[in-house]
Amino acid sequence: MKFYEEKDYDALSQRAANIIAAQIVTKPDCVLGLATGSSPVGTYKRLIEKYENGDLDFSQVKTANLDEYKGLTRDNDQSYYYFMHENLFDHVNICPENTNIPDGTKEDSETECAHYEEVIASLGGVDLQLLGLGHNGHIGFNEPACDFPQATHCVDLQESTIEANKRFFASADDVPRQAYTMGIGTIMRAKKILLVVSGEDKADIVAKAFFGPVTPEVPASILQFHPDVTIVGDKAAFSKIPH
């Protein structure tokens, strides 16, 4: 695992955007696995700047997002579909037909999740997967569990996740209780993984996930077994790891 400790959120966002830009430049038709949450917002901003400066071309890039709330329509401003358009897709020359996000409006979880796995396979797999990190060690919406889920599936969100995400909704009652997420197996099949993390509130989970035992109780800990993982964090998020 490669760790980049940056001085603050801006610097970590720049570093992460540079890594993604290098992927796009070296393989213009690459498949990017994308993430939501507050952590990657700065990274997306920097990517948009690079596009506006003429340094990046998204015309052949394909994307597959990690997850989506079940039950939210695409025009709901808390859906991850909406988030991705707002924070990246609407600002770069990506082709809408090249972007993929699980469809949270599909009631039949099994069919939608199997379909999403087929979509990723038809793209030839993910070249670079961007990840954030939940306070309980979740990646995508893979919550702590007694095993590592292999494929895209429907999850019941944990109370702590609902608590953490309620800041975006009118109240905790409005946070959906379920989501579709790539499985740990889906994430681990990506050729490269880039995880961005910031803030003191993530320091404990960073230490636990990447320097503690590999266990499905801390889903991100599995990344210790991936051959090509880069973790970009700020000083605060890295403050509890052995230096």
Ligand X SMILES: N[C@@H]1[C@@H](O)[C@H](O)[C@@H](COP(=O)(O)O)O[C@@H]1O
- Identity of residue 62: K
Angle, CA 199 vertex, CA 5 and CA 76 arms, to 5°: 120
Nearer to ligand X, 43 or 98 (CB): 43
Residue 134 lies near ligand X (rule: CB under 6 A): yes
Check binding of 136 to ligand X (CB under 6 A): no
CA 34 to chain centre: 5
Does the annotation count 91 as an active-site position? no
SS (H, E, C) 158-183: CHHHHHHHHHHCCCHHHCCCEEEECC
Return d(Cα 21, Cα 9) in angstroms, integer: 18
How far apart (Å, rounded) are the C-alpha atoms in residues 208 and 221? Answer: 8
Candidates 52-60, 100-108, 127-135, 204-212: pick the segment binding ligand X (CB under 6 A).
Answer: 127-135
Q: Given the residues 65, 87, 136, 142, select the one marked as catalytic.
A: 136
Catalytic residue among 6, 112, 127, 143: 143
Binding mask 35-54 for ligand X (x = CB under 6 A): xxxxx---------------
Closest distance to ligand X from the beta carbon of 93 (Å) = 25
Residue that has been written with the tokens 């973790």 in this structure? 231
**138 assigned to active site:** yes
Interface residue list for ligand X (CB under 6 A): 35-39, 66-67, 132-134, 140-141, 161, 165
Active site residues: 67, 136, 138, 143
